[in-house]
Structure 1
Amino acid sequence: MKQLIDFIPLIIFFVLYKTHDIYVATMALIVAIPFQIAFMWWKYRKVEKMHLITFAMVAVFGGLTIYLQDEDFIKWKVTIVYALFAVVLLGSQLMGKPVVKAMLGKEITLPEFVWRNLNLAWTGFFSICAVLNVYIAFHLPTDVWVNFKVFGLLIATFVFTILSGVYMFKYMPKEEEPKTPESE
């Protein structure tokens, strides 16, 4: 349920872009995210930092998009968010405290090198997404960029998450089988 709520502003943006234009869709996105945050607070009594960062970025870049009637600003938001993720992950790596381990380490036990590799892999993933967004946003039509933002990045993140899970599974401690009288 929680993950579905994360996609509602994106769905609203996509539908209104397809039925109206980038400016109406951006305005709807700016309005939808505070409702999303309020709902999350009401339902779970917690607001994730990611939602607040997203709202701040959308408010600033979306506001500039609407005020200046220049769609480039909302396109930059995606790049900046992904670049910010990459910088935070890389910074945590350099400080010896991978963010990926901080997020998942309470539930999953893995060797330190695996946490470092995952952290670096996600740093690379977010860096590539940021660069791809710049290319697609500023070298291809806005229609292509919206489809990339909504579907391309979502599918890429899903696939990379699965690949990360497969990699982690390989290094998870194996549970010992219970001893039976026949195995002794």
Structure 2
Amino acid sequence: MTGKTDINPFLKQVLELGPPLAFFFIYLRLRDDSFMIGGIEYSGFIIATIIFVPLMLGAMGILWYLTGKLSRMQIFTAFMVIFFGGLTAWFNDERFFKMKTTLVYGLFALILGIGLLQKKSYLAYVLDEMLPMKHEGWMILTRRLCACFAVLAVANEFVWRTMSTDLWVKIETFGFPIALMAFLMLQFSLLQSYMDDPDHQ
């Protein structure tokens, strides 16, 4: 399949948000259980992580099949989930999966920061077609989002190292995404004056 095809927005949201929600509910169901596999005991968190990886890849595969493309961010996130999910299962250590969130947010902050040092907005490179905006607006948004990702990376380290797994799962599933979405909505509202009018050429 080639080209870009629009799909129902609700279906798109289900495919993007379904796997993390599935992980949350699977974890709630299995958190007090342990499983013996191949002579090794695994916690409910580890099993939930192992189940989450193919669920997410399956949803992304369907999204790719229906739309003909995946964003660079989706591909990168999939790689990180596979890599750290694999380490979590291989070493039977939930810390790897918890650190994934820190590294994802941290790398996003680093990439945006490198662009800023070059006086470029890598964010514009990824999103310009979907969100026409003047260069100055992109630079402002990139600086703010770079700082936001850095804060989220630090916050994740604090949460998983000092709080319970139950609380981390809840914050990972709901807290961080909601905080990021609220931040973006606020920024788009504040940066309206930098938006390009697609009807005015």
TM-score range, shorter chain: 0.7 to 0.9
For 1:173 and 1:11, how far apart are their aligned partners in 2? 36
Q: Deviations over 1:135-172 (max 9, x none)?
A: 00111000111011011111101101111111221333
- In structure 2, the residue corresponding to 1:23 is in which secondary structure? helix
- In structure 1, the residue corresponding to 2:191 is in which secondary structure? helix
Name the % identity.
30
- Aligned partner (choices 97, 104, 107) of residue 81 of structure 1: 104
For 2:159 and 2:54, how far apart are their aligned partners in 1? 26
Single out whichever of 45-54 and 153-162 deviates more from structure 2: 45-54
Q: 1:110 to 1:63 in 2, by over 3 A?
A: closer
Question: Higher helix proportion, which one?
Answer: 1
Question: Pairwise mapping of residues 52-91 of structure 1 onto structure 2 (< 5 A)?
Answer: 52-91=75-114
Q: Radius of gyration: which is bigger? A: 1
Structure 2 gap ranges (5+): 1-10, 31-43
Equivalent residues of 1:12, 1:28 under 8 A apart: no
User: Given residue 30 of structure 1, which amino acid in structure 2 is its aligned partner?
Assistant: V
Where does residue 24 of structure 1 map in the other structure? 47
- Aligned partner (choices 16, 35, 47) of residue 6 of structure 1: 16
For 2:86 and 2:130, how far apart are their aligned partners in 1? 39
For 2:132 and 2:82, how far apart are their aligned partners in 1? 38
Q: 1:110 to 1:51 in 2, by over 3 A?
A: closer
Superposition deviation, residue 28 in structure 1: 1.2
Q: Deviations over 1:115-150 (max 9, x none)?
A: 211100000000000000000011100011101101
Q: Deviations over 1:54-79 (max 9, x none)?
A: 22211221111122221100000000
What RMSD in Å do the two structures reach over aligned CA positions?
A: 2.0
Question: Pairwise mapping of residues 165-184 of structure 1 onto structure 2 (< 5 A)?
Answer: 165-172=188-195
User: Given residue 27 of structure 2, which amino acid in structure 1 is its aligned partner?
Assistant: Y
Structure 1 gap ranges (5+): 176-184
- In structure 2, the residue corresponding to 1:47 is in which secondary structure? coil
Q: 1:146 to 1:49 in 2, by over 3 A?
A: same
Name segments (4+ residues, structure 1) moved above 4 Å: none
User: Given residue 65 of structure 2, which amino acid in structure 1 is its aligned partner?
Assistant: W
User: Given residue 55 of structure 2, which amino acid in structure 1 is its aligned partner?
Assistant: A
Question: Is residue 99 of structure 1 aligned with residue 109 of structure 2?
Answer: no
Single out whichever of 99-108 and 3-12 deviates more from structure 2: 99-108
Equivalent residues of 2:109, 2:149 under 8 A apart: yes
